[in-house]
Amino acid sequence: MPRPLRTRSPRRMIAATTALCTAALAGTLFAGTAAADPAASAAPTAAAAPAGTQAAAGNKVVGYFTNWGVYDRNYHVKNIQTSGSADKLTHINYAFGNVQGGKCTIGDAYADYDKAYTADQSVDGKADTWDAGALRGNFNQLRKLKKLHPNLKVIWSFGGWTWSGGFAEAAKNPNGFAQSCLDLVQDKRWADVFDGIDIDWEYPNACGLTCDTSGREALTNVLKALRAKFGGKLVTAAIAADASAGGKLDAADYKGASQYVDWYNPMTYDYFGAWDAKGPTAPHSPLTAYNGIPKAGYNTTDTINKLKGMGIPANKLLLGIGFYGRGWQGVTQDAPGGTATGAAPGKYEAGIEDYKLLKTRCPATGKVGGTAYAKCGNQWWSYDTPETIGSKMTYKNQQGLGGTFFWELSGDTANGELIKAIK
């Protein structure tokens, strides 16, 4: 069973793939698809603040937990408890379920519900059993974590960078897809674990690892069907952050689809990275534009402004934070904008590294665009620190956003340094 890549960048495509996607999308970018079931009921949409006023910011703190993290990364649900992060989270996004044959499917059966935890590995100090019908794996550990934190909600996220190709078929039959998701999320073996569903489609009617040509209305149709099936349970979606003219946020009807979600998670990170092997170096998660930024619209402020400008209420938008850095090597210039020879080495993947490792291996040496960067030897990295996250939280509050989400829990320190800065 393949596991999704840790990164979810929209720009890790080779040139040939980009060209193919561009050609495939030509003439279809704004093509609609068949309307969703008119009988489907919509969830109430939060009203925007009256003109001249600013709605109070929300306090949601949503952290991704990856099912493949239990392997090489050796990060388990118990770590959420021992780090103190569980006390600060309002929601966990469990990543990822797969999308195959137009249906929601299991991502990794062993990690999800079969892996046996010993007493010392378990959240509550009790070992898993092999009794008939007993639930094990991450699902059982999440169940135990929720018992310790009754207000904590868990949302099952489907798709991601690696598995978003399956949404094209799902979009052909939104109601069938939504029913399959409801059946899986509410399976009697783990129905009490999950409080809703998150759709991580990268990207509707645009290109990610693969290119989607489902049409401008496909996202709306899928989310409308999910809302009708899931009723009062949570329905959320991770969405693009590309605010450039004609970019990914223009490819689908994010405003129309927003009425069917409890909130959106705009992925305001991975704007820049070593998929552009020779640079220029640039912070992957800038809060604002700055003099010399490589591309207009590639910063958090522009993303949020564009989404709010579409008419999406601020309290339906969460601010995205990355608990990792992106880096280049072969760099001589300290400030951003330097040239490079390729991706800096990372423990799990070239060009990316956890904050918990970078903070001591390559400490921050400067700030630009509201985030931090570091030059150590011939390597150049960018990442958020507790200080820059604090500034981003001020921005979140000023904008009246619904809260914060981050990718992902295992990148933080053992004592939850970054989530403390969020909370």
Q: Which residues are catalytic?
A: 202
Check if the beta carbon of residue 200 is closer than 8 Å to that of residue 237: yes
Specify which residues 62 forms β-bridges with: 91, 405
Query: Rounded distance, CA 237 to CA 185, Å?
Result: 16
What is the torsion angle, in degrees rounded to the nearest 10, for the CA atoms of residue 34, residue 36, residue 39 and residue 44?
-140
List the Cα angle 322/323/329 in 5-degree steps: 85
Check if the beta carbon of residue 385 is closer than 8 Å to that of residue 309: no
Place of tokens 């534009």: 289
Q: Residue 1 class from Cβ within 10 Å (0-12 exposed, 13-18 middle, 19+ buried)?
A: exposed
Query: Rounded distance, CA 240 to CA 300, Å?
Result: 11
Q: Where are the alpha helices (DSSP H) in 149-232?
A: 160-163, 167-170, 174-185, 218-230
Query: Rounded distance, CA 347 to CA 355, Å?
Result: 12
Query: Rounded distance, CA 403 to CA 55, Å?
Result: 12
Query: Rounded distance, CA 269 to CA 267, Å?
Result: 6
Residue 147: how many other CB atoms lie within 10 Å: 12
Between 300-309 and 386-399, two packed helices, what is the crossing angle to 10 degrees?
Answer: 20
What is the torsion angle, in degrees rounded to the nearest 10, for the CA atoms of residue 65, residue 66, residue 69 and residue 73?
-70
